Amino acid sequence: MNIDYNERIPNNVDLADDRRLLRALERWQPAYLKWWEEMGPVESQDMEVYLRTAISVQKDGWANFGHVRMPDYRWGIFLTPPEADRKINFGAHKGEAAWQTVPGEYRSELRRLIVTQGDTEPASVEQQRALGRSCPSLYDLRNLFQVNVEEGRHLWAMVYLLQAYFGRDGREEADEMLERHAGDPDRPRILQAFNEKTDDWLSFYMFTFFQDRDGKYQLASLAESGFDPLSRTCRFMLTEEAHHMFVGESGIMRVVQRSAELMREHDTTDIRPFGGIDLDTIQKFMNFHFSVCLDLFGQERSTNAANYYSMGLKGRFQETRIDDDHVLENAVYLAPELVDGKVISTETSALTAINERLRREYTVDSQRGVNRFNKVLEHFGIERKLTLPHEAFNRAIGAFRSVEATPTGDIIDGETWSRRRDEWLPSEADYAFVKSLMKPVTEPGKMAGWIAPPKRGIHGQPLDYDYVRFH
């Protein structure tokens, strides 16, 4: 199933046969392009970037690489091909045929899930919009833009669902996607992590490591949906998400490697004078991004999540591979709670613990990446390890919302927190230091001094390839 790029809106959903939908999307397209120009990557309008574009939705060989003028990137609507006789695989409707239209009784819940997902996509582009000015290399600049155009396409994916299946209120929601903005005090993005600043590259790598990984877990849960168009859309989005996490993981890895090299070379942990990012600072950034991302999973005990599951709208990670009844009426799961100032695990219904289960799987996956960072340190003979902070640390949603905790999970009073906060989270001075390193490097093959070069170039190209051309 190839994609026809002669269409004004490239798609594999037979848009030409649905005049009403086509008109609605063609009305939205100029607003989107205007948003991209005003809120997307700064000063990028004349750049030519070595981007990959989807040319087919088949498993292998869907991507085409070539230099593209950024505003000419072809955003379109791509769903993985339908699976014959697909069934709803969990919840009260388990075993019934998957829905091809919106189940009327669950319309508002489904819309809410799609709007929440959709809102994050343009938010991330807005958060990252100024990073191009301080890229550590052309290789990295290209990766940033690749991530950005794909987030833009993910917004198209959700807007397609809203416009195709939700009529007038869907169209209104689609418009509002471009009206809320990351960090806007009056009209912020829906989830807090998408209002935070991402204006240095260490934050960008942390974002793509931690926050895009939340994307992976949330999209995978939505890919299980009984609403088939949502499932098919998310399946295709997941193929792109993998690259975003690669950008994050390899980015942090290269920063850690450079820091380790400087520590060895100068025989000190204080590498700031030599233009490196010290491990304490990397740890603080990690503490911040991980804790903010844990909030993205919602509360440990959530009736919303239980309802989404029982309704068949949002499943668990790799639902069909789990060996249980997929209804969970009588099943239990352990979830943390605070009792007398101590964090303990208590049994709760597996249905209300759906968010918690996903957060746990996310944590295990994040830890695997952190272990790889620690392998780099080990390789340089450095004993110090990077760690994920405890789940109670710096939380704004759920059981730990109203307490303060250390990164190792000891509950502390507000005064101690205020006094010690800057030991655990980036201070203004830490941000200022990291920002002071962010000087643009735009000569092919050259790399900023605070980050090691990547192992290889993109799509077989050499490291000194002109991944971005300026005009």
**Interacting residue ranges for ligand BYC, rule: CB under 6 A:** 113, 116-117, 120-121, 124, 151, 191-192, 211-212, 214-215, 218, 295-299, 302, 304-305, 314, 355, 397
Query: Is residue 144 within 8 Å of residue 128, measured between CB atoms?
Result: yes
Q: Closest CB to ligand BYC among 244 and 272? A: 244
Give the whole-angstrom CA distance, residue 192 versus residue 194.
5
Structure tokens at 242: 């993998």
Give the whole-angstrom CA distance, residue 278 versus residue 318.
38
**Smallest gap from residue 191 Cβ to ligand BYC (A):** 4
Please state whether 49 falls in left (phi above 0), alpha (psi between -120 and 50) or beta: beta
H helix intervals, 66-166 = 107-127, 138-165
Q: Closest CB to ligand BYC among 304 and 374? A: 304
Structure tokens at 305: 């999540």
Q: Closest CB to ligand BYC among 75 and 450? A: 75
**Smallest gap from residue 270 Cβ to ligand BYC (A):** 33
Structure tokens at 95: 């075993």
**Smallest gap from residue 294 Cβ to ligand BYC (A):** 9
Q: Which residues contact 34 (CB under 8 A, 6 or more apart)?
A: none
**Smallest gap from residue 114 Cβ to ligand BYC (A):** 8
**Smallest gap from residue 36 Cβ to ligand BYC (A):** 15
Closest Cα to residue 327, out of 353, 341, 348, 309? 309
Q: Closest CB to ligand BYC among 116 and 461? A: 116
Residue whose beta carbon is closest to ligand BYC: 298
Q: Which strand ranges, in their side-by-side order, compose the sheet holding 63-69?
A: 63-69, 48-54, 468-469
The DSSP 8-state label assigned to residue 331 in this structure reads: -
**Smallest gap from residue 273 Cβ to ligand BYC (A):** 34
Q: Closest CB to ligand BYC among 49 and 115? A: 115
CB contact burial 249-261 (16+ within 10 A = b; e otherwise):
bbbbbbbbbbbbb
Structure tokens at 169: 């209120």
Q: Closest CB to ligand BYC among 113 and 279? A: 113
Q: Closest CB to ligand BYC among 198 and 257? A: 198
Q: Closest CB to ligand BYC among 120 and 137? A: 120
Burial class (CB in 10 A: 0-12, 13-18, 19+), 104: exposed
**Smallest gap from residue 84 Cβ to ligand BYC (A):** 27
**Smallest gap from residue 108 Cβ to ligand BYC (A):** 11
Q: Closest CB to ligand BYC among 136 and 315? A: 315
Give the whole-angstrom CA distance, residue 347 versus residue 361.
18
Q: Closest CB to ligand BYC among 88 and 110? A: 110
H helix intervals, 132-227 = 138-165, 167-177, 201-206, 212-223
Helices then strands, each counted (H, E), the chain:
12, 7
φ, ψ of residue 66 to 5 degrees: the values are: 180, 165
**Smallest gap from residue 274 Cβ to ligand BYC (A):** 33
Q: Closest CB to ligand BYC among 120 and 287? A: 120
Q: Closest CB to ligand BYC among 148 and 259? A: 148
**Smallest gap from residue 101 Cβ to ligand BYC (A):** 21
Q: Please, which residues bridge with residue 411 across strands?
A: 405
Query: Is residue 442 within 8 Å of residue 469, measured between CB atoms?
Result: no
**Smallest gap from residue 105 Cβ to ligand BYC (A):** 18
Query: Is residue 207 within 8 Å of residue 124, measured between CB atoms?
Result: yes
Instruction: Give the number of other CB atoms < 10 A from CB of residue 382.
Output: 17
* The dihedral formed by the CA atoms of 195, 196, 198 and 202, expressed in degrees to the nearest 10: -150
Query: Is residue 76 within 8 Å of residue 60, measured between CB atoms?
Result: no
**Smallest gap from residue 195 Cβ to ligand BYC (A):** 9
